[in-house]
Amino acid sequence: MANFWSDSTQQDPKRQYRWIMLIASVPAYVLKTVSKPGFTVSETEHKYLNHTYYYPGRVEWEPITLTLADPVSPDMAATMADILASSGYKPAQSVNDTSTISKKKAVEALGNQIEIQQIDADGNAVETWRLVNPFITDVKFGDLDYEGDDMSQIDVTIRYDWAELETVNGSNRVGGANKFFKL
């Protein structure tokens, strides 16, 4: 069986620049960077005499971050404001305004699911991450600088309940190739 190191003509490694992200209201071409999902397993320690033992605890999925270019059209700053409004946020006009953001509306504002796909040279997905129940937790509209000529950008943080991973080579995954493995 050939491996990448001995026969690199048979397979191509995953490349950082080959990716697309599917997120409602955000065209793929305005995305500049994205972090893939990650998780942390908490631990509990138990001390017995002269020994310390560790036990795994709960899994917590880490938020992802993405950076968007902010063109005039489509205006990503306005899109972020629309997502916030669709989440249920309204500036208070009086003490009687009692509506708030809800998880249901915040998730629906992003289209219920976000996908991050790493693709091969032919544009086929080789790794797909699906974020379950994603919602925006942080938006930074960037800095302005008289000395810079970079495009304006927006930094966004997204929280989700968990992620699902699908790969084309699922031989080391529960369920085999092309099956979703819910981590």
121-171 pLDDT tens trace: 999 999 999 999 999 999 999 999 999 999 999 999 999 999 999 988 754
Give the pTM: 0.82
- CATH node for 19-182: 2.30.110
59-113 pLDDT tens trace: 999 999 999 999 999 999 999 999 999 999 988 787 777 788 999 999 999 887 7
Domain spans in the chain, listed from the N-terminal domain onward: 19-182
Scan for tokens 């697309």, then name that residue: 20
Give the dihedral sign, CA 17/20/23/24: positive
